[in-house]
């Protein structure tokens, strides 16, 4: 429904705070605010010596929030047509520079990465910063670089280790292979029992078990109450964090006792208690001769550095925060991808048939491994096209200018919040032929091999200094899950069902609820 500007404002305020506000009061308040705003802006303009990015005129207090719509990344693509690759908006009272276009995004994240390596002081992420989060820390410097180096080494030690057995190349692969096998069995049982089912819950349990095993050396039964409670808490936390939080954009709201403002912190602390207990147990039972998981690896690296007395290292709180970062990132990104991929597979059955054919012809009934990625180029192309076409992470985590700088000739003051629009780059007509069309073949060259230079253009994990640490882990993990499921099962949509690829907007965009059915592809597997 289309609302005139005043009605839009009233609707926005009612939805955000669940209160009725009369038009008369709003008009009087707005008149006063417009006068004050115009006066302040006029004063500010007299001091400007360098050109700010262009952008739409903002309302007082609420800025351009009413113009964003349900899918801001699409709104920004439309704004780009008028204002160019770099433009300025206001979210509430917070100035935000939006960066589009491959060239400008690369310049901001790679060529001038240090100038944009900060994080803004946003209420939703403030508790991460308090916990010394590697991903959300507002401070970028030598301490942060050390923290990142230690996290990378710990992650690598359990995701790219030397052979642990005759069948698996690393501990991560063991966990992923096991959970993929379990997911096949769960899907088969659900289909036999219910006919059709929503895959979200079993996917979430399988992915959460991989993360728990990798971080804590422990997997849970899908019906374990503690396990389900953690999953529910994580989902509630993500739901609360993905909502438009007024405290992020209008600072005075941070002090109001509203549920929408305080819910993210509440759920974060609940989740952190679970993670903190496991980390503390690991610190207590640590044995340098027997490293069980990533948490032990972090403790080991830090103990060695402390013993050598050569350099500073991480505190116990920073170890817990690093585990929390890995836990959250590995949980949400992979489960979101699998939900999207299964939806696309039943939406495009001809694509699924090609993956079946490729798996049958190249690895047969052998359980898929990380090394099989090179043997299944079409499956890899499908995975990259899911990343590109859905772009279920439409923006990088918000960046912040660490110094006064320029981009595309425009002046960007220190501490300015910056959004990098990955969705736009992944749907740029100058980079992709028919970008709105789902075509895995676009990633294959004439000889049927994966076009790695084109894969590198897909943005989903960010790039540069703040790039997601777990990209290689995530890519290996989703490959084994997809290949394992499609090796043994055929996924089908429910008869008469209408499938919708439109996402539900959030920090990580979700699919709308859907159901599917499965059929075993081989009798030998259906009896297991």
CA distance 452 to 322: 31
Tokens of 437: 């069309």
CA distance 11 to 454: 44
**Which three-class secondary structure state does DSSP give residue 400?**
strand
**Which three-class secondary structure state does DSSP give residue 59?**
strand
List the beta strands (DSSP E) in 320-441. Answer: 399-400, 405-407, 410-412, 417-420
Question: For residue 314, which phi and psi values (nearest 5 degrees)?
Answer: -85, 145
CA distance 93 to 89: 10
- CA 36: distance to chain centroid? 39
Number of helical (H) and strand (E) elements in the chain, helices listed first: 19, 8
Tokens of 272: 């952190």
Residue whose structure tokens are 């592809």: 521
Given a contact cutoff of 8 angstroms between Cβ atoms, the answer to whether 10 and 21 are in contact is yes
Angle between helices 471-488 and 142-159 (to 10 degrees): 30
Q: Characterize the bridge pairing of strands 516-520 and 489-493.
A: antiparallel
Other Cβ atoms within 10 Å of 449 Cβ, number? 13
252 assigned binding-site residue: no
CA distance 333 to 473: 11
Q: Which residue, 525, 475, 495, is CA-closest to 346?
A: 495
Binding-site residues for heme:
468
Binding-site residues:
468
């Amino acid at each position: 429904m289309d609302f005139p500007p005043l009605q839009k404002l009233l609707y926005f305020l009612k939805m955000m705070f669940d209160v009725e506000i009369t038009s008369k009061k709003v008009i009087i308040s707005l008149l006063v605010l417009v006068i004050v705003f115009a006066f302040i802006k006029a004063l500010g303009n007299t001091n400007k010596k360098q050109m700010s990015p262009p952008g739409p005129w903002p309302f007082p207090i609420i800025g351009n929030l009413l113009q964003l719509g349900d899918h801001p990344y699409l709104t920004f693509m439309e704004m780009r047509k008028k204002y160019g690759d770099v433009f300025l908006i206001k979210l509430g009272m917070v100035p935000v520079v939006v960066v589009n276009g491959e060239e400008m995004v690369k310049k901001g994240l790679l060529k001038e990465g240090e100038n944009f390596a900060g994080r803004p002081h946003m209420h939703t992420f403030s508790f991460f910063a308090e916990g010394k989060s590697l991903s959300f820390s507002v401070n970028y410097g030598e301490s942060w670089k050390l923290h990142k180096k230690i996290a990378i080494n710990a992650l690598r030690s359990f995701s790219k280790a030397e052979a642990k057995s005759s069948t698996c190349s690393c501990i991560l692969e063991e966990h992923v292979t096991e959970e993929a096998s379990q997911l096949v069995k769960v899907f088969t049982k659900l289909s036999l029992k219910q006919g059709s089912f929503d895959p979200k819950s079993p996917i979430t349990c399988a992915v959460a078990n991989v993360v728990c095993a990798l971080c804590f050396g422990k997997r849970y039964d899908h019906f374990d109450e503690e396990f389900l409670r953690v999953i529910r808490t994580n989902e509630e936390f993500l739901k609360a964090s993905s909502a438009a939080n007024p405290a992020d954009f209008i600072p005075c709201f941070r002090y109001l006792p509203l549920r929408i403002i305080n819910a993210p912190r509440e759920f974060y602390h609940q989740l952190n208690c679970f993670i903190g207990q496991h980390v503390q147990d690991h610190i207590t039972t640590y044995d340098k001769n027997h490293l069980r998981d990533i948490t032990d690896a972090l403790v080991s690296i830090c103990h060695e550095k402390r013993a050598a007395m050569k350099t500073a290292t991480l505190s116990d709180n920073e170890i817990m925060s690093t585990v929390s970062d890995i836990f959250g990132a590995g949980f949400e990104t992979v489960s979101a991808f699998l939900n999207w991929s299964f939806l696309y597979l039943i939406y495009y059955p001809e694509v699924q048939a090609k993956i079946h054919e490729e798996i049958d012809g190249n690895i047969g009934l052998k359980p898929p491994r990380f090394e099989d990625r090179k043997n299944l180029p079409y499956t890899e192309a499908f995975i990259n096209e899911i990343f590109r076409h859905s772009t279920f992470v439409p923006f990088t985590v918000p960046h912040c200018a660490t110094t006064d700088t320029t981009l595309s000739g425009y002046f960007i003051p220190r501490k300015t919040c910056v959004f990098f629009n990955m969705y736009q780059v992944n749907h740029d007509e100058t980079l992709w032929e028919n970008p709105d069309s789902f075509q895995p073949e676009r990633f294959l060259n004439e000889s049927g091999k994966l076009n790695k230079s084109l894969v590198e253009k897909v943005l989903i994990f960010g790039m540069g200094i703040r790039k997601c640490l777990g990209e290689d882990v995530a890519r290996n993990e989703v490959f084994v899950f997809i290949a394992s499921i499609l090796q043994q099962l055929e996924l089908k949509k429910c008869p008469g069902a209408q499938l919708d690829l439109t996402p539900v907007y959030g920090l990580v965009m979700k699919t709308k609820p859907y159901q599917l059915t499965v059929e075993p592809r081989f009798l030998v597997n259906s009896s297991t």
